[in-house]
């Protein structure tokens, strides 16, 4: 009887972890992602490189963009080959949050 209860308890915990694991965020923080994937083009200060037609992320124009529009821009950039490809939706959100902190 005790063994059955123990097995049921272990299985219940395993099922709960299986259900909860996808909702846990394992994404890097936005600053780390930005430095690894974005800073090489946009610069550490996010000022961009106008001569190379790389936009500033701290300009008045960028500040006026909605989070959805900025996320879309990051996601579209992520489709190009290079360091920003394959960013998850959580990663994009983290980068946008970090960029917003740089804009202040």
Structure pTM? 0.67
Query: Is 47 or 23 the better-scoring residue by pLDDT?
Result: 47
Residue 46: the pLDDT is 93
User: Cα-flanking dihedrals φ and ψ of residue 55, to 5°?
Assistant: -70, 150
Supply the pLDDT for residue 19: 75
Topology of domain 27-102, CATH: Cytochrome Bc1 Complex; Chain D, domain 2 (1.10.760)
CA distance 55 to 2: 65
> What does the pLDDT look like over 2-43, one tens digit per residue?
888 888 989 898 887 777 665 555 556 889 888 988 888 899
Give the domain ranges of the chain: 27-102
- Give the pLDDT confidence of 66-89 residue by residue, as tens digits: 999 998 888 777 655 555 666 788
For residues 57 and 62, what is the distance between their CA atoms, to the nearest angstrom? 5
In three-state secondary structure terms, 83 is coil
Say what the pLDDT of residue 26 is.
52
Q: Using an 8 Å Cβ cutoff, are 56 and 46 in contact?
A: yes
Best CA proximity match to 97, nearest among 23, 24, 25, 32:
32
In angstroms, the first-to-last Cα distance of the chain is 62
Instruction: Please give the pLDDT value at position 81.
Output: 54
Residue 58 pLDDT > 90: yes
């Amino acid at each position: 009887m005790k063994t059955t209860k123990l097995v049921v308890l272990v299985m219940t915990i395993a099922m709960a972890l299986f259900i909860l694991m996808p909702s846990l965020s394992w994404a890097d923080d936005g600053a780390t992602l930005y430095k690894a994937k974005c800073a090489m083009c946009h610069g550490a200060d996010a000022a961009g490189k106008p001569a190379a037609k790389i936009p500033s992320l701290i300009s008045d124009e960028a500040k006026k963009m909605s989070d959805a529009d900025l996320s879309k821009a990051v996601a579209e950039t992520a489709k190009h080959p290079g360091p920003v490809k394959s960013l998850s939706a959580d990663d994009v959100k983290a980068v946008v949050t970090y960029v917003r902190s740089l804009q202040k």
